[in-house]
Structure 1
Amino acid sequence: MRPILTLVAVSCVTFLSAQITIGPADMPSAGDTVRYWNTSAIGIDPAPTEAGYVWDMGMLTPDVEAADTCISVNSTPFLYQFFFNNMILYPNWAANYAVRGQEFNFQMLTLTDVFDYFKKDATGFRNVGFGANVNGVPTSVRRMPVDHIHHFPMNYDNMDTSYSEFTVAVPTLFSFTQQQTRFNHVDGWGTLYLPADTFEVLRVRSVLQRSDSVYIEQFGQGFAFDEPETIEYKWIAVGMDEPVLQINSTGGQATTARFFYDPNDIILSVPTTQEVAFSAQPNPAQQSVSFSIPVITSGVLEFRDATGRLVGSMRIPSGSTTVRQDVSGFADGTYVATLISSSGSRSTRMIIQH
C-alpha cells in the first residue's frame, strides 16, 4: 500500500518529517510484486546521513526496468522445498515466500533456476537459503545459520551483526562454501526524494564481508579467498515491501542503484505545451526566485539547504501558477525547493550566488 501524504493546518501550514519504525508488515509477502528501476550510481555519494536528514536523489535516471515477484513456497519446484516448507523438522528455515535469485557459475559449479527463500516474523527478516539446479540436479540449500537481513522492530541507531554460511556440494567432486558477516547500522532517518516519489524513511547501512572456499575431493585439499567488501545503503519506508532505494558500493565506489517506481509516476515523454513543470527561475539567483506552479488546490513550498535543514517556507494559495521567493537572506549554496500538496510532492534545485 502506497503512503498518502496529508497536510494538517493549525493556524499556519507546516510540514515535519517524523521518525518511523519498520516491522514485519513492511516486508514482502507471497503475491506481492515490487517494481523498480536499475541505474548506475557512479558519481553519487550515498554516505551522508543523520537524524532528520533530507536525501535528494531526484537526479537518478531510470535505466533498466525490473520487478521482484514474490511467490508462495508451494509454487517453487518441489525438491527445492525440502528445508523451507517443513515447520516441524526445520522451523528456523520455514519460509514465507520465495523470489527469483541470481544464477551462478564457478569453475565446474553451475546454479540455474535459482529461488531465494525468506522468512519474516516479529523478530526480524531473514534469508534462510535457496533452491537451484546444481549442475542440473534440483537441490535445497539452507543457510546455517540464517542471514538476518533486518531485526525488528527497526528504529534509528539500531546496530546488529549477523553471521551466515551455506555449502553447495557436488558428490565425489568438490564443494563450495560461502561465509558472510553482515554489520547493520540504522544510521539515519528523514525524507527521501526520488525522481517521482517522496518517502519518510529509515536509512540502513549494511557492510557485507564474504569469504569463499572450495574443497576438491579428488586431491583432498581446498583453497579460500575473500570477496571485496560490499556496502549496501538502503532507504526503507513503511508499507513498501522492499527498500525504495538501494545503492551498492564495492571497494569504496558506488556502483549500482535501484529505486522504486510506480508505472504511472515516471513520465519519460516530453511534456505538452499545456503542461506546467515545477521549476525555478532564474537559476542561479541572487535576490529572488520565481517558481512555476503546476495546477494544485493549495500547498506549501519548502526550502532546505544542502544539509537538509529547513531554511524557509511559504503557503501556496489555490490556483496559483507563479510565486516569488525572496532569497537575499539565503547563504550562497545549493538548495532544494519542495512543493507539497494533497496530490504529493515535487522538488527542484536552486543555486544562490550573491
Structure 2
Amino acid sequence: MKQLVTLALFTTATLGQAQITIGQADMPSAGDTMRYQNDTPTTFDAGDTGPGHIWDFSNLVPQGEGADTAVTVASTPLLYQFFFNNPFIYPDWDADYAMKGASIGFAQLQIQDLYDYYKKSGSAFSNVGFGATINGLPSSVQRDPVDHIFRFPMDYGNVDSSFSTWNVSVPTILYFGEEQWRHNTVDGWGTLYLPADTFEVLRVESRISRSDTIYVDQFGIGFQLPAIETIEYKWVAQGMDAPVLTITTLAGNPVGARFYYDPTTIATGLNTVINSDRALRVMPNPADQLAWVALPVDAVSAQVLDAEGRTVLNVPTTGRQGNTSFDVSGLASGLYTLQVTGRSEVRTVRLSVQH
C-alpha cells in the first residue's frame, strides 16, 4: 500500500511539470558570477530527451571548480571597446557585458588577455566579438555576422541557425580567419537532477562547425583547415544566467561536462555538510501550490529558506517518513532552499516557486 501511495504522489508531481520559456532575463548581466564544476562522463546518450523528460545526472562527480564573471564593457581595456561600446556607430555590436576568455597562440600569432563581448536582446543572446592583445597590440575584433548563441523566446521545438566569422591580420606576417556555423534545436523539456540541485529546463542541441583559414605572408602561401564539428548539449533553466549543465561531444564521444554546483556550506551545531545529498528530491520543481519532499528517516526539522537565509515556511516532520507534502502557494515566485536537518547532518536542495 505504501508503494502505491508513493507512486501516486510521484505521478501527481510529474503531471505538475510545465514547459518553461527562456528569454533575455535568463542571461547574465554585468556583475554576475557563474560557478561551475567539471567532470568527464564516460558515457552519454544524446538521444535521451523529449517533452516532459527527466534527466538524472546526479552521479556527476565534481572534479574541478571554476567561475566566470561578467564584467562591464567599460572596465575592459579602452582599445578593446572600439566596436563594443559605440552604440551610435556600431549598434549591432553594442555589448552588455564582457567575460574573460582563453588565450590563443601558435607560431607567429599570439592572441592574449582576451575578453569576449556579449549582447542580449528580446530576440537573441549573442557573442559579438572579442578584444585582445594581438602580437603585443591591443585590438578590437568584430564577429561579422555575430554568433547568435540562443534565439528568444526559446521554447521546445524551436530550430535556428547562425553563421559568424572573424579575422585578424598582422601586417607582413599573416592573416587568420575563422568561419563558424551553429545549428540549434530545442529537443527536450523537463526536470534535470544534478548532484546538488534540481531544475526545470529546456535542452538545446548546438551543432557547431568551425573552419580556419591561414595565410602566411613570409612564404606567400595559404591554406584552409577542414571543418571540425562539435556538439554541445545544454540544459537551460530560468534565472540561472548560464546553462546549468553542458556536455560537449566530439565524434559522438563525450569530452567534458560542466555543471552548476552550489558550494555553499551550512554551519550548524551538527556536522557541517555541503548541500550535495543526492537523495533529497522535491517534486514538482518548480512548484505552484503543493510540493512533495522525500524526508530521510532521521529528519528532525525542515524549513524553506529565502535568498537571505530566513525561514519562510516550516515543513512538518513529526511522525513523517517518506513523501511529505507542503504548501508553497503563499510564497512569492522565486528561488528558495529547502533545508532538512537530521540527527547528524543537514541536507539542502534548491526549490523554485512559480505562480
Q: Distance in 2 between matches of 1:14 and 1:257?
A: 28
8 Å contact kept, 2:58–2:278? no
Match of 1:226 in 2: 226
CA-to-aligned-CA distance 1:111-169 (integer Å, 9 cap, x gap): 11010000000010000000111111111111010000011000001000100010011
Match of 1:200 in 2: 200
Match of 1:246 in 2: 246
Kindly tell me: are residues 318 and 133 of structure 1, through their superposed partners in 2, closer, same or farther at Cα, counting changes over 3 Å?
Answer: same
**Code of the aligned partner of 1:199:** F
Q: Distance in 2 between matches of 1:238 and 1:279?
A: 23
Q: Distance in 2 between matches of 1:232 and 1:278?
A: 25
Structure 2 residue 38 is matched with structure 1 residue 38: yes
8 Å contact kept, 1:235–1:244? yes
* Alpha-carbon offset, residue 89 of structure 1: 1.0
Match of 1:87 in 2: 87
Q: Distance in 1 between matches of 2:338 and 2:89?
A: 51
Q: Distance in 1 between matches of 2:227 and 2:202?
A: 28
Match of 1:20 in 2: 20
Match of 1:329 in 2: none
Count of residue correspondences: 290
Q: Distance in 2 between matches of 1:184 and 1:42?
A: 24
CA-to-aligned-CA distance 1:185-237 (integer Å, 9 cap, x gap): 00000000000100000100000011011012234331011243100000000
Q: Distance in 2 between matches of 1:18 and 1:226?
A: 42
8 Å contact kept, 2:211–2:228? no
Displacement over 6 Å in runs of 4+: 270-273
5 Å matches for 1:263-302? 263-264=263-264, 292=297, 294-297=299-302
SS at match of 2:62: coil
CA-to-aligned-CA distance 1:279-301 (integer Å, 9 cap, x gap): 69xxxxxxxxx9646445599xx
Match of 2:179 in 1: 179
Q: Distance in 2 between matches of 1:278 and 1:247?
A: 20
Kindly tell me: are residues 74 and 160 of structure 1, through their superposed partners in 2, closer, same or farther at Cα, counting changes over 3 Å?
Answer: same
* Alpha-carbon offset, residue 251 of structure 1: 1.4
Q: Distance in 2 between matches of 1:220 and 1:124?
A: 40
* Alpha-carbon offset, residue 263 of structure 1: 1.9
**Code of the aligned partner of 1:107:** A
Q: Distance in 1 between matches of 2:296 and 2:89?
A: 63
8 Å contact kept, 2:87–2:94? yes
SS at match of 1:218: coil
Give the TM-score of the pair, scaled to structure 2: 0.75
Structure 2 residue 110 is matched with structure 1 residue 105: no
Match of 2:329 in 1: none
8 Å contact kept, 2:53–2:188? yes
SS at match of 1:196: coil
**Code of the aligned partner of 2:223:** F
8 Å contact kept, 2:266–2:272? no
CA-to-aligned-CA distance 1:269-318 (integer Å, 9 cap, x gap): x9689x9x7769xxxxxxxxx9646445599xxxxxxxxxxxxxxxx973
Kindly tell me: are residues 192 and 266 of structure 1, through their superposed partners in 2, closer, same or farther at Cα, counting changes over 3 Å?
Answer: farther
SS at match of 1:191: strand
Structure 2 residue 133 is matched with structure 1 residue 123: no
5 Å matches for 1:328-343? 342-343=338-339
Match of 2:262 in 1: 262
